Amino acid sequence: MTLAAAPLASCGAPDTGRAYWLPASDGTRLRLAHWPGDRQVLILPGRTEYIEKYGLVVRDLADAGWGALVVDWRGQGLADRLAPDPLMGHVGRFSDYQRDLDAVLEAAEILAPGPHPWLVHSMGGCIGLRGLMRGKRPPAVAFSAPMLGLAQPAFLTAALRTLSRVLHPLGLDARYAPTTGPAFGLPGMRFADNTLTTDEAQFDRMKAQIAGEPGLSLGGPSLRWMGQAVTEMRALATLPSPDLPALFGLGGDEAIVSPQAIRDRVARWPRAELIDYPGAKHELTMERPEVRTDFLRRMLSLFGQHTG
């Protein structure tokens, strides 16, 4: 694998970080950033996210003696965008994210050989869980509000899946999912009604990042993405849990992913622990200090026990 230098903006992380372009097996160009350390955490972000958003998390990891690797998935960040409208979150097949994961794991062994525990958030939790089901075996995994289901009525989820299937043969599913658009999510959010964090400073930081670098911004998902995501979550829900230690974190005011789907998974995962954070929202690692500090502390304790 050939790694070429890629841009990395200042984001509050140590200045030792370097970013690289790396190709997935189908030629899609991804971006991966690496901050060296004696031990490494692999961070798999959620939908719409980008490397720089995790700058303060990387700083906290460095303060605790850990390095980090963070990826821009296809279709977001500075990775190749897959729709004519660059603000649309789109993917041909959800399984394509496994190509990305495979490329990241290969590059991680080049940049920082050794065991890499995973911190996975939201969509990254769905991608990471499929990777575990495929036989990938990090020493431990921390799930931050993983996307194992959506926080919406079941009939609506089923309707989106059906609509995507019906429109796909006509090529009409490569449009924004209903109720979304270019400003959907963080670009159009105000702090007062945001679903991400109760920490206004963190919220302002995230807004400032995409305002300062519009190329990092992403709006709503395509109908194709929605249909593929729902199909993938349904398939994963039928599978047994892998045999490895895991930590799950869930905010009491979670409004993006399904709390019940997370609880159902933990109940079927003998080596998993679930930590509830009353009053917290979706972004646990970007929440108010007492939440993010506790979650990261528990995570690193788990990782330390299983990486030597």
CB-CB contact of 37 with 113 (8 Å): no
Question: pLDDT of 61-90, one tens digit each?
Answer: 999 999 999 999 999 999 999 999 999 999
Strand partners of residue 69: 34, 42
- Dihedral sign, CA of 11, 8, 208, 229? negative
pLDDT greater than 90 at residue 168: no
CATH at residue 152: 3.40.50.1820
pLDDT greater than 60 at residue 170: no
Share of the chain above pLDDT 70, in %: 96
pLDDT greater than 80 at residue 252: yes
Q: 38 is written with which tokens?
A: 């004696």
CB-CB contact of 246 with 271 (8 Å): yes
CA distance 233 to 200: 31
Q: Tell me, what's the pLDDT at 167? A: 64
pLDDT greater than 90 at residue 169: no
Q: 289 is written with which tokens?
A: 């200090």
Question: pLDDT of 136-151, one tens digit each?
Answer: 999 999 999 999 999 8
For the chain, the domain total comes to 1
Q: Tell me, what's the pLDDT at 172? A: 63
Q: What is the mean pLDDT of residues 37-42?
A: 96
Q: Tell me, what's the pLDDT at 164? A: 67
Share of the chain above pLDDT 90, in %: 90
Question: pLDDT of 87-122, one tens digit each?
Answer: 999 999 999 999 999 999 999 999 999 999 999 999
For the chain, the DSSP string reads: ---EEE-----SS-TT-EEEEEE-TTS-EEEEEEE--SEEEEEE--TT--GGGGHHHHHHHHHTTEEEEEEE-TTSTTSPP-SSSTTSB--S-TTHHHHHHHHHHHHHHHHS-S---EEEETHHHHHHHHHHHTT---S-EEEES--SSBSS-HHHHHHHHHHHHHHGGGT--SSBPTT--TTTTGGG--GGG-SS-S-HHHHHHHHHHHHH-GGG---PBBHHHHHHHHHHHHHHHTSPPPSS-EEEEEETT--SB-HHHHHHHHHT-TTEEEEEETT--S-GGGS-HHHHHHHHHHHHHHHHHHH-
Which of 152-166, 181-195, 245-259 is least confident? 152-166
Torsion of CA 78, 178, 45, 153, to 10 degrees: 180
CB atoms within 10 A of CB 245: 19
Q: What is the mean pLDDT of residues 280-294?
A: 98
Structural domain that includes position 9? 4-307
Which amino acid is residue 262, in one-letter code?
A: I
